[in-house]
Chains A and B, each alone.
Chain A
Amino acid sequence: MSSLQCPIHPDANLIEDHRAGDIICPECGLVVGDRLVDVGTEWRSFSNEKSGTDPSRVGAPENPVMGASDLSTSIMVGFGASDSSQGLANAQRKNMNNSDRQMNQAIGIIREMSERIHLARPIQDSAAKVFKQILDSKALRGRSNEAQAAACLYFACRKEGVPRTFKEICAVSRVSKKDIGKCFKLILRTLETSIEQITSADFMSRFCGNLDLPIAVQTAATRIAKKAVELDLVAARSPISIAAAAIYMASQASKDKRTAKEIGEVAGAAEQTIKQTYKFLLPRARELFPPEFKFVTPVEQLPAS
């Protein structure tokens, strides 16, 4: 297109007329190029159309994650088809590269897992990219596809700054936490990256949302957790336990009280752990709460365990 010029007005910006398939000079109206190939879609197919076959002759765009050989056109064999079409379908299946098949399978697993915990598309794509990298490096050879996919998903969530706990990923995967953890460590070693450590704040909005707690309680819990870490009251505890204990304290001081058991179910922390961590927070409770917090249950009356 850029090599076309109006012979009389070489500097003019040419206009494309899609209806006629022409390129026209705006100054003098000369048709500079014709028979313009329309690169739009050939057919539009609507879901309510009763036509048996889809006349569109093109498939999905090329997916860089899947490797260059991904042609999403596949030979479909109808019921009671002739042998030749069966043969073609088998040939295509056989021809498919092993790594492509694994990649397809993994992408399917990642999509399914992400659907269940409502993860955004960019995270899924990031996880697929990570999977492709480790597939190429052959580092996680002996591990099951499911474990690798789950670990990639965990890694992608962490990398994008929206970490999910191992237990949350476990909940949507068949694999045990131990296997996902092992695969995750191998991924870190293969990709030679280091990622941010998790903090309590990463999980606050999700845990509080799942417990139907109002935003005031959420902000209070976030501040309690942050202050607790600053004041070093909870030295050896995992950020998830700290978050859970902070939510417990904030909710018990507000109108919407939640039991440690309910919080434990949402956060994936044991009830005893939450209570024990809460015991560390209790002595300095007054300093931990944000100053504007409206106490329904005052600090003195917070439960002792």
Chain B
Amino acid sequence: MSLEYKIVNVVATCDLGVRINLANYARTNVASVQYNPDVFRAAITRLKDPSSTILVFHTGRLVITGAKTCDTARSQADRMKRLLKIRKAPMSFKVQNIVTTASCHKSINLVALYAQIVTHAQDKIKSVTYEVEIFSGLQIKLNQGCIIVFSSGKIIVTGFTSRSLINECYDEISSFLTQYGSSFIRASSIGI
């Protein structure tokens, strides 16, 4: 069972290296920039095509969110550099988090899945939580990232910083599903 995943969100930080006057910046770009210093000490820039949201701090650091790929995030950082009229190249760019979703297209019995994980996968994971009253998904915390499984079969993998780690994670999930899946995968497909 191969799991195809889709990257839904990439969060990255960048340092442009120069101080920025946020008030001026906000004044010149009224349309797409929000700056309320008493609410939050950063200018919130919303770009379109590709769309993303960028927080600009007066130290010159940026937080880029909403990008759909890592390259988009990088290009948005360059775009901001031009928008802010900065000639220095961005100093550091680091992807902080990649959020991905996937589906195994079968409905899952989370109680049984929990039991299987507790017995078979304790060495690879940091912790597993399934509390129905608190959250309807089963949450697996790994050393670096986190996996959330819903009973519809949808899976969210988040917290990783590179594609290779994500691929590894999904491979692990696939192998676990094929190995132990019979005990927690429901024969009927989702129609709930």
Which residue numbers of A lie inside 8 Å of B, CB to CB? 165-167, 177, 181, 184-185, 188-189, 194, 197-198, 232, 235-236, 238-240
Contacts and interface: CB of A to CB of B under 8 A. Distances in A.
Given A235-B109, A235-B192, A236-B136, A197 B130 contact: yes
A159 to B, nearest CB: 14
B152 A236 contact: yes
B133 A236 contact: no
Interface string B39-63: 0000000000000000000000000
Contacts of B186: 232, 235
Contacts of A165: 133
Interface string B150-161: 111000000000
23 contacts: A165-B133, A166-B133, A177-B133, A184-B134, A185-B134, A188-B129, A189-B127, A194-B118, A197-B114, A198-B132, A235-B107, A235-B151, A235-B186, A235-B192, A236-B136, A236-B150, A236-B151, A236-B152, A236-B192, A238-B132, A238-B133, A238-B136, A240-B133
B188 interface: yes
Contacts of A232: 186, 188
A239 B129 CA distance: 17
Contacts of B136: 236, 238
Given A194-B118, A232-B186, A235-B109, A185 B192 contact: no
A239 B132 contact: yes
* A interface, over-half SS: helix
Interface of B: 107, 109, 111, 114, 118, 127, 129-134, 136, 150-152, 186, 188, 192
A70 to B, nearest CB: 34
Tell me the interface secondary structure of chain B in the complex.
loop
A181 B133 contact: yes
Contacts of B107: 235-236
Contacts of B151: 235-236
B16 to A, nearest CB: 35
Contacts of B130: 197
Nearest to B188: A232
B116 to A, nearest CB: 13
Contacts of B150: 236
B106 to A, nearest CB: 11
Contacts of A235: 107, 109, 151, 186, 192
Contacts of A184: 131, 134
Nearest to B127: A189
A236 B151 CA distance: 6
A190 to B, nearest CB: 11
A181 B192 contact: no
Contacts of B129: 185, 188
Contact of A185 (B109, B111, B114, B131): B131
Nearest to B115: A197
A36 B114 CA distance: 61
A230 B71 CA distance: 48
A166 B109 contact: no
A187 B44 CA distance: 38
For A167, A181, A185, A235, the residue with the greatest tally of chain B CB atoms inside 10 Å of its CB is: A235
B161 to A, nearest CB: 24
Nearest to A280: B192
Given A181-B133, A232-B188, 11 more contacts: A165-B133, A177-B133, A185-B129, A185-B131, A194-B118, A198-B133, A235-B109, A235-B192, A236-B107, A236-B150, A236-B192
Tell which of B127, B129, B133 has the most Cβ of chain A within 10 Å.
B133
Contacts of B152: 236
The CB with the most chain A CB atoms within 10 A, among B111, B118, B130, B132, is that of B132
A167 B133 CA distance: 9
